[in-house]
Structures are given as C-alpha cells and as structure tokens.
Amino acid sequence: MRKPYMRIPYTDILASPTIIPQTATTISGAIAALQEFFGATSAKSSPSTVVLTGAGISVASGLADYRGPNGTYRVNKTYRPIYYSEFLQNHEARKRYWARSFLGWTTLLKGKPNAGHYAVKHLGDLGLVRSVITQNVDSFHPKAHPQLPTIELHGYLRSCVCTSCHEELPRDTFQHELARLNPAWAVFLQEILASGALDTENPDERRARGLKTNPDGDVDLPDAPYTTFRYPACPRCLTSPPAIADGSPAKVEVDTDGAWMPTSTAGILKPAVTMFGENIRVPIKAAAEQAIENAGSLLVLGTSLATYSAWRLAKRAKDRGIPIAIVNLGGVRGEETFFADLDPSQKGSQGARIELSTDELLPALVEQLRQSSNIKVAAEGHGHSPEQHGASVFKDMMS
C-alpha cells in the first residue's frame, strides 16, 4: 500500500543551485533555456507540461515565502506552525490560531495574483501548459486562470471546513462571526491595521510599530488575551448534530452568543487547508499523481520542494524520465536527483535549473514565445505592480 502524503515542515535553508544550462543565469539566457524546454515537448498535438508551484510565486503579491531572502524561516527564527493534531485536540491552540488568523485575514484579502500567475495563464493560452498543481493556499492560481485547471494540493484559505460533517463555510462569513464574538479584538485589528504593524513578519519591526510580541512571536494583548478569544461552531452540526460511533448524536454546545464550547464533542471548524501533520485528501493526492502520470514535462516554479508531498511528485516525474525545469530563488531539496544525469551540452530540452524571480522571468518568456509563435493574447496582469509592502501576513495564515 502506498503511504499517504503527510504535510511536514522542513525548515533548513538549502544550498545554492548549479544553474543549468550555464547560460541560464540571465533573463535572456533563461528564456532561451525554457524555449528549448517547451520546444522539446510542444511537438505533440495537445499541451503536455504540468506546472508545480509554491510560495515563491506569490512573493510578488506581498506574501512571504519560507526560505527566500525575506522568507519566514529567515526573518522569524521562532516561527512554528500549528500541527493538525494540536488544532484538533486543543481548544486553547484553536483560540490562538483563530486569533492570529483573524488578524491576518484582512491583509491576505488585499493580495492579488501577480505577473507570474498571469504568465502561467498565458502559457496555457499558448497551448503549452495543461494544468497546474500548487502548494499555495492563497487561491491566486484559480483567480488568475479559471480556465486552466488547478489542483490545490494543500487546500485553500477561502473556506473553513467542519472536522465533523465536512461542510464548508466561506472564510469571509467566518471572519464576520469572529469579529462579532470578539469585539475587543475587532477594535484592536482596526488599530494595528492603521499602524502598519501587520505589514511585516519581522518581530522587531512589529514592535517598532507598536505591536507587542513575546519571544515566541505571539501577539501580547493585555486587554484581549488569546484565552478569551471565541470562535463559532459549525452551523450545520449545531442544528443537526452528527452521530458518534455508537449512533447517538454528538454534543454541539455554544454559549449565549453562539461561540463553540469545550463541552462539545463535534462541530469544530478548521481552515480548508492541509495543516502540517495532516494527510492530503485522497482525491486531491490521486488527481495530482494522475496529472504527473499524464505530463510530458514538469515546470517547477517558486518552490524548494521541501514539503515531501511536492517533492514526491517531482521525483515521480523524474522517475518517468520526463524533462524537468525548476525556477526558484534558492536551493531545492535533493536537486542533484533531478539534474545529475543530463547531457552537459543540452540547452534546456532535457531540463533546466534557473534562479530568477518568476514574476520577472515568466512574463518575458511569454512575450518571447508570443513573438516567435505570432500568437496574440490579451495582456492581463500587466499594470498589477507587485506589492512590495503592505500585504505580508502571518505565516500561520498561509500554513
């Protein structure tokens, strides 16, 4: 039996890559390599390249990645993601998670897909890319290219899901409920949004802007500590409690305002993401594996493949012998696995390793491909200047 994919964080900083081919250190050299890469697979009648993306592609949208120059693991050394088992078992841990998530949600909402996401759309329009697998939970891929299929390997933050009945609830609706149940936090949120303290993940910068954090990165809020934070129960379980193992109904109890009470045995909502320590949903895992099985080549964008579930997909592509191109700032887990056997004189048709930012390289690649194929496509995404400041969110929100 094949093992499930469990999501596990890997916090090491990886060694710098060897650029392949050697000429791919500049934008023009990298474009030439990727043209070779697509040329090797585009002779077929249907698009065959599958794209696999990670946090790096969303950096230009103002979201922190993990290992980039301003990545969470570099900037906030004390960062520790919540694990699924902890979330499921511990009411106090959920209060802390939802309090931080409550603060982070507003800034995530401001984030938009960037030129890198739209370039992926255009690669689809050009008949080169057939589907996208993303580890990102920010929904930027489906927003940028609703016509090009996206498999969201680790789920999405736009919804919450009930751990008992699996009903989904829009995150916006949930946010309004959190504000209603936690009025002091709602006031605090307005104040810190105005201060700009949520624009950075760096604890020192946050302190300088008036947001107190203790050494483990928690927000220190004397008038509204985490222990008082309240979150709602699943509305469906509240009106019709699910059955427990012996067939009797579970208990779903709320206080007078509708906040979930720890005397309950069901009705806990979680973000609709695969948390660390949680297995990827079976149909999602199967769809991702199938996409790799059907792919003619794999283009990896903005991920160090540090998460085992993503690394396994790339490894499977390698085992199938299809060309792999990786565009990522910084090292990639076990990257010698992907490139050790390439012909040293190949120009990109067998594979490429590029260390440039996706939001600069990909639009330039699309432009070059359009000129060479003489295909005119509408230029969405141009005019969306990358947000350098102002939309960074707590990594908890992205995990």
Catalytic residue IDs = 154
Q: CB of 267: closest distance to Zn ion in angstroms?
A: 5
Q: Is 237 in the site for Zn ion (CB under 5 A)?
A: yes
Q: CB of 283: closest distance to Zn ion in angstroms?
A: 20
Q: Under a CB-based contact definition with an 8 Å cutoff, are residues 102 and 96 in contact? A: no
| 133 vs 237, beta carbon nearer Zn ion | 237
SS (H, E, C) 86-153: HHHHCHHHHHHHHHHHHHHHHHHHHCCCCHHHHHHHHHHHCCCEEEEEECCCCCHHHHHCCCCCEEEC
Residue 146 identity (one-letter amino acid):
P
Q: CA–CA distance from 166 to each of 181, 210, 217, 239 (Å)? A: 23, 39, 31, 15
Structure tokens of 170?
Answer: 């829009």
| 236 vs 333, beta carbon nearer Zn ion | 236
| 234 vs 301, beta carbon nearer Zn ion | 234
Q: CB of 99: closest distance to Zn ion in angstroms?
A: 22
| Residue in the structure block whose two tokens are 């596990």 | 8
The H or E element containing residue 183 is helix 183-195
| 163 vs 213, beta carbon nearer Zn ion | 163
Number of residues lying near Zn ion (CB under 5 A)? 6
Is the Cα dihedral 367, 369, 370, 372 positive or negative?
A: positive
Binding positions for Zn ion, 151-170, rule CB under 5 A: 162, 164-165
Q: Which span (132-140, 185-193, 219-227, 234-242) binds Zn ion, by CB under 5 A?
A: 234-242
Interface pattern 246-265 for Zn ion (x via CB under 5 A): --------------------
| 239 vs 371, beta carbon nearer Zn ion | 239
Find the binder of Zn ion among 100, 130, 206, 236 (CB under 5 A).
236
Q: CB of 163: closest distance to Zn ion in angstroms?
A: 8
Computed on alpha carbons and rounded to an integer, the radius of gyration of the chain in Å comes to: 22
Q: CB of 104: closest distance to Zn ion in angstroms?
A: 24
| 252 vs 325, beta carbon nearer Zn ion | 252
| Helices 183-195 and 91-110, packing angle to 10 deg | 40
Q: Is 365 in the site for Zn ion (CB under 5 A)?
A: no
Q: SS3 of 52, please?
A: strand
**Residue 309 burial (C-beta neighbours within 10 Å; 0-12, 13-18, 19+):** buried
**Residue 376 burial (C-beta neighbours within 10 Å; 0-12, 13-18, 19+):** exposed
Q: CA–CA distance from 324 to each of 112, 210, 341 (Å)? A: 28, 46, 12
Residue 327 pairs in a beta bridge with 301, 354
Q: CB of 244: closest distance to Zn ion in angstroms?
A: 13
Annotated binding site for Zn(2+): 162, 165, 234, 237
Where along the sequence are the contacts to Zn ion (CB under 5 A)?
Answer: 162, 164-165, 234, 236-237
